[in-house]
Amino acid sequence: MMVSARNKAFMSEFKEEQLKFSRVRTAYSEKEAGVKDLFDKAGIEFPEFDLLIQAFKKERKLEVWAKSKNNSKYQHITNYDFCMLSGILGPKRREGDEQVPEGFYHIDRFNSASNFYLSLGINYPNTSDKIKGRQGGLGGDIFIHGDCVSVGCIPITTLLIKELYIMCVEAKSNGQPRIPVHIYPAKFNDKGWRDLQSTYSDAPNLIAFWEQMKLGYAHFEANSTIAEVRVASTGEYQFNQLAH
């Protein structure tokens, strides 16, 4: 993705602005060395990388993947456990349902003064949610954050959000305008998919929704690259050529 000179200037100033906040400075002081070590072990130059976050609700796992700027393939960096999970498997379709969304999102906010220490906002509701969810009552303010409470968010504890927040600040300030966040109901491997089909056999609409998501998951598993996502007029996810 080409980045304009204006956007490059904004991104170069982004980290400086973040470091004006004491919690961000504390995170860097405590965790930057450990984060750099994770990237060194993966053979990825720090901070010249792009980031991908994948979340799996059934397993309560958040996976962090990254790739070097000169490489199209992502490598696994680390995992973080959900501290807790609200709601059940399935997408978020209305305000107040306590559901963690499911779908293809990106980080759209960095909150350095969160009630939950630090938090990373997810662009829920996305285009698909706006088509398929309750009109005028979708809710919002979905975050990956610290602490251990959730009403639709993904908490990973204050200790671990410091690491993830640093990774996201570095990715954005070094030229990644959108950090993708893919949230799945479960791992769509053979066993995971069979379990979903069996457990939710009486919910064909839900299975059909997951079948769309499974295409994106399978592409990443096979290629270590992200398939470009678009949304049909009916709200279904569809996949175009690869996005590098």
pLDDT in tens, 105-117: 999 999 999 999 9
Q: How confident is the model at residue 240 (pLDDT cuts 50, 70, 90)?
A: confident
- Cα angle 62-230-196, degrees, rounded to a multiple of 5: 45
Could you tell me the two tokens for 56? 């799996």
- pLDDT computed for residue 65 by the predictor: 98
Could you tell me the two tokens for 5? 């000179």
Query: What CATH topology corresponds to 5-185?
Result: L,D-transpeptidase catalytic domain-like (2.40.440)
Per-residue pLDDT at 5 exceeds 70: no
Q: How confident is the model at residue 137 (pLDDT cuts 50, 70, 90)?
A: confident
Residues facing residue 119 across a β-bridge: 111, 145
Alpha helix (H) ranges present in 66-199? 127-132, 158-173, 190-199
How far apart are alpha carbons 69 and 67 in whole angstroms?
6
Residues facing residue 78 across a β-bridge: 64
Mean pLDDT along residues 25-36: 98
Per-residue pLDDT at 243 exceeds 70: no
Residues classed as catalytic: 145, 153
* DSSP-derived 3-state class of residue 105: strand
The residue type of 204 is: P
The residue type of 154 is: I
Kindly list the domain boundaries of the chain, sorted by start residue. Answer: 5-185
Residue pLDDT, tens place only, 73-84: 999 999 999 999
Share in percent of the chain as helix, strand, coil (round to 5)? 35, 25, 40
Contact between residue 207 and residue 196 where contact means Cβ atoms under 8 Å apart:
yes
Q: Given CA atoms 220, 223, 226, 227 in this order, what sign does their dihedral have?
A: negative
How far apart are alpha carbons 13 and 65 in whole angstroms?
24
